Amino acid sequence: MITGKFPSLRLRRTRKFTWSRKLIQENNLSSNDFIYPIFLIEGKNKKQPIKSMPDIYKYTIDKLGTLVSNAIKNKIPMVALFPSTPKKKKDYNGNEALNENNLVCRATRYIKKRFKNDIGIMCDVALDPYTSHGHDGLIKKNYVLNDITIEILKKQSLLQAQMGCDVIAPSDMMDGRIGAIRKALDKNNFQNVCILSYSAKYASNFYGPFRDAVGSRSNLKSDKKTYQMDYKNSNEAFREIGLDIKEGADIVMIKPGMPYLDIIKNIKDKFKIPVFAYQVSGEYSLLKNGIKMNLIKDEAIMESLVAFKRAGASAIITYFALEIAKKLKSF
């Protein structure tokens, strides 16, 4: 409630100087808020640009040392690994997901061996980077099968934990997968491995550049609306997240980010659980291209990230992580 009235009350008084504006800021960003996503490719000494994501690249595992060192140097607490699986290694059932020498497993072993616990490792759990059809699970008659997919996701999660993954992040949106994965991890003495559930993942139009990066866009012949959420819904997010918390999720994710700030705020207010936001590839590319075309200022990046904090996000997966962490360090 506002007490007082104009002219004795002038809200502009505290906005006059830089120092006074700083003193009354309600939300701030730090490197602690960021998760740094890294795209992986096969080969050696390669840095491959992603055409639909300006200034973002796919890297071979031997390049990870420099990337992760830079993340640690700039106080980013966690990296997220996403594979661009070669076409010849993809098949109908996504068997490469269970190969202990796939890109994610090798990268996880490399980072954990070299950097120990100086930085966290988040691994995506889903089949879309590995299937020839581009869907997140096993399919029959163009429909993703729920329960049989969960059996594969359990094995994928266990494998990633065995490799040294700290945070298992199921992004598949199968019903019941969090409980199944939690039980499998606990049964195999991985009680301290966290689950970050993509609990409210919407069937969004903002994922295109990411699908280019992992090589699933050209394979995907139908949408994902039978398992990802309808962007017209908000109450449904409460049901999804409530179930995931009961099943053992340590952290929940809202994806995409900026179009769903209302969901982030509502979930944070309701459940009082760590809520992460994913500033997805489409959001990144819109901002980056707008800046390159001089349509918006580059400070729009900071504005977009602060919006997540203002809405209640505990952390943000963003392709701007390293760029903004460096800027914050110089402030």
Looking at the annotation, which residues are catalytic?
201, 255
Half-sphere exposure of 30 (CA within 13 A, CB side): 5
Which among 201, 202, 206 is positioned nearest to 286, based on CA atoms? Answer: 206
Give Cα 56 to chain centroid, integer Å. Answer: 15
Beta strands in the chain (DSSP E): 34-40, 47-49, 57-59, 78-83, 120-125, 139-140, 143-144, 167-170, 194-201, 251-255, 275-279, 315-318
Residue 21 exposure: Cα atoms within 13 Å on the Cβ side = 5
| Contact of 181 with 168, CB cutoff 8 Å | yes
CA separation for the pair 324, 309 (Å, rounded): 15
- Quote the CA–CA distance of 114 and 98 in Å, as a whole number: 23
Which pair of tokens denotes residue 182? 């939690």
